[in-house]
Amino acid sequence: MPYQFTVSPDFSPDHLSGWYIFNTWLQKQLGEAVHLEMYDCFQTQKAVIESNGIDLIYANPFDAAMLVRKKGFRPLARPVGVSDEAIIAVNAESLIYDVADLSSGIKIAVTDDPDIRLMGMIMLEAGDLNLNNTIIISCDAYILVAKQLLKGNADVGVFLAEAYDGLSNIVKSKLRVIVRSEISVIHHGLMIGPKLAHRKMDILELLVGMKNNDKGQDVLKSLGFRAWDKVEDEEMEFMIDLMDALSV
Amino acid sequence: MRDFKPEDVIGDYKEALLALYGGLSRLVLYTDIEIPYPDGKLIVSTTDKNGIITHVNKAFVEMSGYTEDELIGSPHSILRHPDMPSVAFKDLWDTVNKGEYWQGIVKNLRKDGGYYWVKATVIPNIRNNEVVSYTSVRRKPSRTKVEDAKRLYATLK
Ligand SMILES: Cc1cc2nc3c(=O)[nH]c(=O)nc-3n(C[C@H](O)[C@H](O)[C@H](O)COP(=O)(O)O)c2cc1C
């Protein structure tokens, strides 16, 4: 039975093939069979994690608490210089310039990325907005969040900053950012489960060393990363505490 | 903790003598100048179990006006504003000592005598089933929440 690897369903479509390339590289380096399964929604993936069906995961920070505290996962590494930031944007012609200009009853376009949704709602809270006094429009992708704003269906959109920045210039010219988060300590990361834990040091060494050889660099490039940095247990605990504090 | 020095303060100020935990007192100088909470940022700090600061993030340093060196090792009451009622902090400590999280709107005093409002969440940091420290994560409060807090705190002083 191969080990089971999965990636947070909010992966960018541009890097889908990159994750398969990464998995092929990993199996070869590690000399173990690892099966990569991509899930298209967080609920499905969570059910598999719950039933102990995952051994290695590139996890969303929102799921880190459950992985560490309930499922015995430990952090391995994070991509250098990549952190999760959220953006609140409006249609460029909107009369809204500040979160304080918004009032209850507004429509918010979001995806189901749990950490970005959380960060977005926290930024909107400064305008007394919450899930009880707003209408959520759930979208399958950030480009669809943008479309909801362009069509005037939604008053504000919540974006992963990286996804917003990656929208075409034509789309961006019709939108306007009202808040961009600067949190910097919330990030995705590779985490390892109990069944694969005996290879933790080997995998970590491979990941951290990737940037030092041509093959490793090619694989990193296909993922859009520069390098992997080790994540210490305490660093992960701190991020989990932070997410806990933001969730209440 | 050092008393305030007039040369650090910007603008017209008033004086207050704060009675702090453990019989300590501190002379503070404070002004009417509010510094708006920076959009999109979180202000984060960690203390040991006695409330001594062990970690601050960049936004904390920027908003408080102190250097990181001045903050680390100092009691968290370094930010205590005379307009904050002491019952609010008693409630904070009673709550986190039970292992629960505390949330509240807090007016903080800057080194330059100005102030800023935050919505704080203080949580106990639990490692190996034991509380080892506390972390406070602050976000931007809404204006209505600040107005409610102002009214409430004025009755509690
Ligand atoms: C993690 C943590 C963060 C705190 N943050 C603040 C703060 O930002 N401002 C403040 O006045 N007190 C803060 N306190 C409470 C102080 O420790 C202190 O109780 C308060 O300033 C009142 O001073 P006193 O307890 O000496 O009377 C914090 C406490 C903890 C545990």
The residue behind tokens 């959220």 is: A86
pLDDT of B149 reads 97
pLDDT of A56 reads 98
Q: Pull the structure tokens for residue B65.
A: 């006006």
Pocket test for ligand 1, best of B77, B94, B96, B101 (most atoms within 8 A of CB): B77
- Residue A116 buriedness (CB in 10 A; 0-12 / 13-18 / 19+): buried
Does B101 touch chain A if contact means CB atoms closer than 8 Å?
yes
Whether residue A125 has pLDDT greater than 80:
yes
Whether residue B157 has pLDDT greater than 80:
no
CATH number at residue B58: 3.30.450.20
**pLDDT (tens digit per residue) in B100-142:** 999 999 999 999 999 999 999 999 999 989 999 999 999 999 9
* Torsion sign across C-alpha atoms B3, B7, B11, B12: positive
**pLDDT (tens digit per residue) in A134-177:** 999 999 999 999 999 999 999 999 999 999 999 999 999 999 99
Whether residue A180 has pLDDT greater than 80:
yes
Whether residue B89 has pLDDT greater than 90:
yes
Model confidence at A6, pLDDT cuts 50, 70, 90, reads very high
How many domains in chain B?
1
How is B79-136 classified by DSSP, letter by letter? GB-TTS-HHHHHHHHHHHHTT--EEEEEEEE-TTS-EEEEEEEEEEEEETTEEEEEEE
**pLDDT (tens digit per residue) in B26-40:** 999 999 999 999 999
Residue B1 lies in a domain: no
User: Which range of residues forms the domain containing residue B83?
Assistant: 6-156
For residue B106, how far is its CA from the centre of ligand 1 (angstroms)? 10
The residue behind tokens 């602050």 is: B138
Q: Which domains does chain A have, with CATH numbers?
A: 3-82+185-247 (3.40.190.10), 86-180 (3.40.190.10)
A245 to B119: CB separation less than 8 angstroms, yes or no = no
Q: Which chain B positions have a beta carbon within 8 Å of A248's beta carbon?
A: 101, 103, 121
Residue B24 lies in a domain: yes
Its pTM surpasses 0.90: yes
ipTM of the complex, rounded to two decimals: 0.92
| Residues B102 and B96 sit within 8 Å (Cβ to Cβ) | yes
Q: How close B124 comes to chain A (CA, Å)?
A: 9
Q: What is the mean pLDDT of residues A224-229?
A: 97
Task: Name the more confident of A63 and A1.
Answer: A63
Q: Which chain A positions have a beta carbon within 8 Å of B119's beta carbon?
A: 125
Spatial separation of the C-alpha atoms in residues A23 and A133, rounded to whole Å: 44
Strands A86-91 and A74-79: unpaired
pLDDT of A87 reads 98
B139 to A126: CB separation less than 8 angstroms, yes or no = yes
Model confidence at A13, pLDDT cuts 50, 70, 90, reads confident
Q: Which residues are near ligand 1 (CB < 6 Å)?
A: B 20-21, 45, 47, 51, 76-77, 79-80, 84, 86, 89, 92, 106, 108, 122, 134-136
pLDDT of B21 reads 87
Q: What is the mean pLDDT of residues A55-60?
A: 98
Amino acid at A164: Y
Whether residue B23 has pLDDT greater than 90:
no
